[in-house]
Amino acid sequence: MSIFLFTFIKAIQTGAPAGTMSLRKAIPALALICLAVTLTSAQAGDDLAQRAADSREAIKQAQAALQQELQTAMKKGGPELAIHACSTKALGITREMSQKQHMLIRRTSLKLRNPQDAPDAWEKKVLKDFQGRINRGENPAQMEHFEIVEKDGAKQFRYMKAITIPKNAPCLVCHGDNIDPGLKAKIKGRYPYDEATGFKEGDLRGAFSVRQQL
């Protein structure tokens, strides 16, 4: 406890100055302490908001690059080449963006195609919360969650932004509920434990996840 705060409390309890500091001097000291605490809290809030804004921008860039790769692959070789691009290019794009933005960026989901994308406990909790919010009628277009968490004694900034299946989305060719049998066999050949099918427009496909060490 600050010596000034202790002195102020002591003076109130006794009705007289504590030590050599008068009550008149203790009140301004306490005011300065309160102001410092308020400013620190405001600065922390500003920092959190800025980190969230930086995460949104990084995800926007990563998503644009991923969509470009998939669209190019679809035009050149159809769904089969798109599956290959998603398998070989997606991870590289998120890694490159992570290095550029000095943050760890990845995609995850409750229904996985690639086991490497499995959510950790925090991500799984947020994904379930996203699904609950969608079930209650919330628009997922801008759905996000961010906070400061502590793990193994170290603080981390964590951020997630929902990924939904947009209208007329070509991704339903590989992730929908009416996949061509030949294509489905190729998906199973590459991803034997694939769970990422049966989606429809508006469904929660997963989320982008961002992590920064503080």
Q: Residues 180-204: what's their mean pLDDT? A: 93
The answer to whether residue 31 sits within a structural domain is no
Give 88's pLDDT tier (boundaries 50, 70, 90): confident
The domain containing residue 115 runs over which residues?
Answer: 40-213
What's the mean per-residue pLDDT of the chain? Answer: 84
The answer to whether residue 167 sits within a structural domain is yes
The answer to whether residue 148 sits within a structural domain is yes
The answer to whether residue 49 sits within a structural domain is yes
3-state secondary structure the chain: CCHHHHHHHHHHHHCCCECCECHHHHHHHHHHHHHHHHHHHHHHHHHHHHHHHHHHHHHHHHHHHHHHHHHHHHHHHHHHHHHHHHHHCHHHHHHHHHHHHCCEEEEECCCCCCHHHCCCHHHHHHHHHHHHHHHCCCCHHHCEEEEEEEECCEEEEEEEEEEECCCCCCCHHHHCCCCCHHHHHHHHHHCCCCCCCCCCCCCEEEEEEEEEEC
Q: Check residue 18 and give its pLDDT.
A: 46
Q: pTM of the entire structure?
A: 0.77
Whether the pLDDT of residue 74 is over 80: the answer is: yes
Q: Check residue 122 and give its pLDDT.
A: 97
**Number of structural domains found in the chain:** 1
The answer to whether residue 115 sits within a structural domain is yes
Q: Residues 186-211: what's their mean pLDDT? A: 94
